[in-house]
Structure 1
Amino acid sequence: MKYRFFSVLCLCIGNPLAYADSSLVARGQRLLHPQDSASAFAPSASFKICFVPNGRSCQDLLVEEINNARRSLLIQAYSFTSAPIAAAVKNAKERGVDVRVILDKSQVSQRYSSATFLRNAAIPVVIDTRPAIAHNKVMIFDGAAVFTGSFNFTKSAQERNAENGILIRGDEKIVKAYVDNWNERCKVSTPY
Structure 2
Amino acid sequence: MSGKKKLITLLQVSLLACPLFFTSPLFAMTDTPSVQVGFSPEGSASALVLDTINSAENSIRMMAYSFTDPDVMYALARAKKRGVDVRIVVDYRGNTNRASREAMKYINLLKIPLRTVDVFPIHHDKVIIVDGNTVETGSYNFSRAAARKNSENVVVIKNMPDVAAQYLEHWQDRWDRGTNWQPVN
Contact 1:107/1:115 (<8 A) preserved: no
- Determine which of 44, 50, 74 is the counterpart of 1:57: 44
2:46 match: secondary structure = helix
Contact 1:146/1:175 (<8 A) preserved: yes
- Determine which of 61, 75, 84 is the counterpart of 1:88: 75
- The structure that is helix-richer by fraction is 2
Give the Cα separation in 2 of the matches to 1:87 and 1:172. 26
Residues 15-41 of structure 1 show CA distances to partners (whole Å, capped at 9, x for unaligned) of xxxxxxxxxxxxxxxxxxxxxxxxxxx
Aligned counterpart, 1:46? 34
Q: How far is the alpha carbon of 1:186 from its aligned partner?
A: 0.6
Q: How far is the alpha carbon of 1:150 from its aligned partner?
A: 0.2
Q: Which runs of 5+ in 1 are unaligned?
A: 1-42
AA at the equivalent of 1:53: P
Aligned counterpart, 1:156? 145
Cα 1:107/1:94, change in 2 over 3 Å? farther
Give the Cα separation in 2 of the matches to 1:164 and 1:146. 14
Aligned counterpart, 2:99? 112
AA at the equivalent of 1:141: V
AA at the equivalent of 2:139: S
Q: How far is the alpha carbon of 1:53 from its aligned partner?
A: 2.2
Aligned counterpart, 1:182? 171
Percent same amino acid among aligned pairs?
Answer: 34
Q: Which runs of 5+ in 2 are unaligned?
A: 1-30
AA at the equivalent of 1:50: G
Residues 114-157 of structure 1 show CA distances to partners (whole Å, capped at 9, x for unaligned) of 21111111100000110011001000011110000000011101
Larger Rg: 2
1:139 match: secondary structure = strand
Give the Cα separation in 2 of the matches to 1:94 and 1:187. 25
AA at the equivalent of 2:169: D
Alignment of 1:1-192 (within 5 A): 44-54=32-42, 56-113=43-100, 114-192=103-181
Moved more, 122-131 or 103-112: 103-112
Q: How far is the alpha carbon of 1:44 from its aligned partner?
A: 4.1
Contact 1:144/1:171 (<8 A) preserved: yes
Give the Cα separation in 2 of the matches to 1:80 and 1:109. 10
Q: How far is the alpha carbon of 1:106 from its aligned partner?
A: 2.3
Residues 161-192 of structure 1 show CA distances to partners (whole Å, capped at 9, x for unaligned) of 10001000122221111000000111111110
1:130 match: secondary structure = coil
AA at the equivalent of 2:40: V
TM-score (norm 2): 0.77
Moved more, 98-107 or 177-186: 98-107
TM-score (norm 1): 0.74
1:146 match: secondary structure = strand
AA at the equivalent of 2:68: T
AA at the equivalent of 1:137: K
Instruction: Name segments (4+ residues, structure 1) moved above 3 Å.
Output: none
